[in-house]
Amino acid sequence: MEISYASPSFQNLSSSSSSSTTNMPSTRPVKIIPLQHPTVTASSSSASFFGSVFTKWITHFKLMTWIQWIEMLLPCCRWIRTYKWREYFQIDLMAGITVGVMLVPQAMSYAKLAGLEAIYGLYSGFVPIFVYAIFGSSRQLAIGPVALVSLLVSNVLAGIADSSDELYTELAILLALMVGVCECIMGLLRLGWLLRFISHAVISGFTTASAIVIALSQAKYFLGYSIVRSSKIVPLIKSIIAGADKFSWPPFVMGSIILAILLIMKHLGKTRKYLRFLRAAGPLTAVVLGTTFVKIYHPSSISLVRIA
């Protein structure tokens, strides 16, 4: 049996179908599907979608209690109520002291990597920690300056102004403000899911390349002479080779000893269970020994960072 489909504009559909089916037996009914024309545009559909999402948000906010409002604005209220002071406070205090002591040289080095004065590294290292303790919600997120961000700041601002000018510092502060505003907007809109579109290979490659660039750019403190500022590997290697005649052995020896202390304490902490604390105490020990040595002997060939 032949079945014909047509729109309602075909006037003789019923008569033609009845005439065609009188001569042969019908085994199943004929279903007429009317032709439907789209009446809603893409813009109106997208507007209705955002309107429905906005309506859901408004409804959700109206149903929230005052306790939920406080927890949303001040997430610290969530963990304070369930915090076990007797079990956690002593351990957290020791961890806080260790991280705080390590944060001082770490933040200053990150400021130098970004082309700023060391004092700005302390500002960016201490202030965000107190702010995030009140408004933050993650227990695993590291707060403060990091090497990748410092390198990106240096790469962006190096083409606009010289690192020795006051304009460079002003631009760095403005850049930090703009990034903070963008992060606040993305946090309010819950746009963290966008990171799912960045593959692990891209993140791993970017991190590895940045680590190599950072290590080469910081080799001047290890070798004792200045090298060119660049975000590319080849110019850094050329600058290191070109300045080999200015090599200074006191910073190299001191850097090698501190590096050996870090590696030995890390190895002992991994291989022996009763010496696990050495793995975490290695950076702190290196900082204390290096600071003590420089304070006592005052070597002229080793550069010091002084903050007024």
pLDDT digits (tens, 9 = 90+) for 120-170: 888 888 888 888 888 877 776 777 788 888 888 888 888 888 888 889 999
Q: What is the pLDDT of residues 158-214, one digit of tens each?
A: 888 888 888 999 999 999 899 989 988 888 787 878 888 888 888 888 888 888 888
The pLDDT of residue 42 is 47
pLDDT for the residue 35: 61
C-alpha separations of 163 from 70, 113, 220, 240 in Å: 43, 11, 17, 20
Widest CA span of the chain, in angstroms?
Answer: 115
Comparing 186 with 19, the larger pLDDT belongs to 186
Residue (of 228, 265, 231, 224) closest to 245 by Cα position: 224
Please check the confidence at residue 283 and state whether its pLDDT lies above 60: yes
Question: Nearest to residue 126, comparing CAs of 109, 103, 105?
Answer: 103
Distance linking the first and last C-alpha atoms of the chain = 97
One-letter amino acid of 95: A
Model pLDDT, residue 79: 78
217-243 pLDDT per residue, tens: 888 888 888 888 777 888 888 888 988
The answer on pLDDT for 275 being more than 70 is: yes
CB 190 within 8 A of CB 196: no
d(CA 34, CA 150): 64
Residue 298 has pLDDT above 90, yes or no: no
| Angstrom distance (rounded) from CA 182 to CA 174 | 12
d(CA 256, CA 258): 6
- Token pair of 211, please? 């680590």
pLDDT of amino acid 194: 84
Euclidean distance between CA atoms 41 and 269, whole angstroms = 65
Query: Residue 18: its pLDDT value, please?
Result: 47
Q: Which pLDDT score is estimated for 178?
A: 92
pLDDT over threshold 70, residue 49: no
Find out whether 220 and 227 touch, Cβ atoms under 8 Å: yes
pLDDT at 31 over 50: yes
Contact 121, 108 (CB under 8 A): yes
Residue 115's CB: how many other CB atoms inside 10 A?
A: 20
Per-residue confidence band for 36, with pLDDT thresholds at 50, 70 and 90:
low
Minimal CA–CA distance to 221: which of 303, 146, 120?
303
Structure tokens of 258? 């501190």
Residue 6, pLDDT above cutoff 50: no
Name the pLDDT band for 46 (thresholds 50, 70, 90): low
Pick the closest to residue 176 from 194, 158, 150, 155 (CA basis).
Answer: 150
| Mean pLDDT rounded to a whole number for the chain | 78
